[in-house]
Amino acid sequence: MKQTCRLIQLVSLGLVLFNLVGCNSEPDLKTSVPTVTSSSDAPTVAVTHPTREDLSRGVTLTAEFRPYQEVEIHAKVAGYVQQINVDVGDHVKTGDVLAVLEIPELEEDLQKAEAAVLTAGQEVKSAEATFEETDQVLNRLQAAGKEAPGLIAQQDLDTAAARDRANEANLQAAKQRVAEAQANADRLRTLLSYSKITAPFDGVVTKRYADTGALIQAGTASTTQSMPLICLAELKRLRLDFPVPESAVADIQVGNSVEVSVVSLGQTFSAKVSRFAQKVDSSTRTMLTEADVDNADFRFTPGMYATVRLTLADKKDALAIPIQCVSSGDHPTVFVLNNDHKVEERPVTIGLETSSMAEILSGLSDKDLIVMGSRSSIQLGETALAKEMDGRKL
C-alpha cells in the first residue's frame, strides 16, 4: 500500500509539472512584433542634419558670340570707286571716310543748279526794281487824286493799280524760283556729299566687296541690286546668344546670372541676361536670349562657341537636405529619427530644388536627424542607431 500511494504521488507531481511547462510555452499574441531589447539588436541607419546652403537652380546651354552691331555699308548714290581707304581687319572710328566715289554727272548737275540760283536771283532783283517803279507811280497818282479830285482819271488809277499788282506777283514768283533753285542745289550738294562714305560707328572691317574703279549702284534704288562696299562690325562689345528651352522660359528675367565658359580659350567669367525675345520659336521650341559681353581687349571673336550656366532661381542661406531624402508626390515627407531613436515620417514643405538638394520651408529644423537611404529597408516606429553622414557629399 505504501508503495502504491508513493507511485500515485509521483504521477500527480509529474502531471502538475507538465501542465506548468505547457502553459509557459504557449505563444504570447501581444508580443508578436519583435522588440529590440539591447542596442546590439537595433539596426544602424545613415542620418544627416539639415544644413544652411546657398541654393541655385539653372540650365546649361550652348551659346555663340556675335557682333553687337554689324552692317553692310552701301552707297547712297551711284558712282565709281575713286578710292577705298580700308581693308579687312582695319579698325575705324565713327565718321572716318571709308571710301570716295566719283560722280561726274552729279557734279555737273550741281554746277547747273548753282547757276540757276544766280539767274533766279537776278530775276528777283529785276522784278523788285519793276515793282518799286510801278508802286511809286501808283502812289503818286493816288496822292494827286486826293489833292485834286477829278484831276486823275479813274481808269488811269485802275490801270496803275493793276500793273502794280502784276509786278508784285512777278516779284513773288521770282522769289519762289530762287527758293526752288536753291533747294535743288542743296539737294544735289547733299547727294554729292554722299560720295564720301563714312563709318556709322566704331568697328572693325570684316569684309571688303569693292576695289578702286568698281561701279557701285545706289543702295536706295529699288530697281537694281546694289553691291555693298564693306561689312563693318562693332566688336568692343559682343552679344552672347543662347536658346532657352520652353520649360525654362517662364523663369527668364533681365539680370539673371550667367556663368560663361569658353573652352577654346580656357576662360570663365560671369555675365547677366541683357534681353530676351519674349517669343518661343515654333521650330526649335526655344527662346533667343542675350547677354552683353565686354570685349575691349578683343579676346573673344564672333562665331566662337561658349557654354553658359543660366541661373533661373537662387536662395541664400536656405535650410536644405539631400533631395533623395524627400519622397516624391504632391505631399512630400521625410523619415526622421526622433529623440527616442525611433523612425517617424514627417511631412515637409519644399521650396527651391536643385539636382542634389531641396530647400525645406517648413516641417524640419537644423537639429533634426534625417534618415537617408532606401525607405524599403526601414520600418516606421522601429528603434535604430544613428550613423551621421555629410549629405552634401552624396
Least confident of 65-79, 85-99, 148-162: 148-162
Q: What value does the mean pLDDT take over residues 78-93?
A: 95
Neighbours of 348 (CB within 10 A): 22
Q: Is the pLDDT of residue 13 over 60?
A: no
Residue 35: predicted pLDDT:
41
Look-up: residue for cell 525611433? 342
The mean pLDDT value for 172-193 works out to 91
Quick one: pLDDT band at residue 142, thresholds 50, 70, 90? confident
Taking the domain 41-54+316-393, which CATH number applies? Answer: 2.40.420.20
> For residues 356 and 84, which has the higher predicted lDDT (pLDDT)?
84
Q: State the pLDDT at residue 223.
A: 53
Share of the chain above pLDDT 70, in %: 87
Residues near 290 by beta carbon (within 8 Å), at least 6 away in sequence: 239, 240, 241, 242, 273, 274, 275, 276
What integer best gives the mean pLDDT of the chain?
85
Q: Give, in order, the Cα–Cα distances in Å from 204 to each of 89, 103, 211.
A: 6, 27, 18
pLDDT of the residue at 83: 95
The answer to whether the pTM exceeds 0.85 is: no
CATH code of the domain occupying 236-315: 2.40.30.170
- Predicted local confidence at residue 82, as pLDDT: 94
Report pLDDT digits (tens) over 115-128. 999 999 998 998 88
Given pLDDT bands bounded at 50, 70 and 90, which one contains residue 20?
very low
Q: What is the pLDDT of residue 26?
A: 42
The β-bridge relationship of strands 370-371 and 44-48 is antiparallel
Q: What residues does 262 pair with on adjacent strands?
A: 267
Look at residues 231, 236, 237 and name the one whose alpha carbon lies nearest to residue 205: 231
Taking residues 242-246, what's their average pLDDT?
95
Residue with cell 506777283: 169
Question: How far apart are alpha carbons 157 and 150 in whole angstroms?
Answer: 11
- Angle among Cα 358, 360, 362 to the nearest 5 degrees reads 160
What is the pLDDT at residue 312? 83
Give Cα separations from 252 to 59, 60, 307, 354 (angstroms). Answer: 11, 14, 17, 17
pLDDT of residue 330: 86
Print burial letters for 210-244: b (CB count within 10 Å at least 16), e (below 16).
Answer: beeeeebbbbeeeeeebebbbbbbbbbebbbbbbb
Q: Residues of the chain with pLDDT > 90: what percent? A: 49
* Structure confidence at residue 211 (pLDDT): 94
Phi/psi of residue 278, nearest 5 degrees: 60, 30
pLDDT at 73 over 90: yes
Exposed/middle/buried for 98, CB within 10 Å: 0-12, 13-18, 19+? buried
* Domain locations in the chain as residue ranges: 41-54+316-393, 104-194, 236-315
Nearest alpha-carbon partner for 98 in 197, 221, 246: 197
pLDDT bin (cut points 50, 70, 90) of residue 107 is: confident
Contact yes or no for 275/290 (Cβ under 8 A): yes
pLDDT band at 313; cut points 50, 70, 90: confident
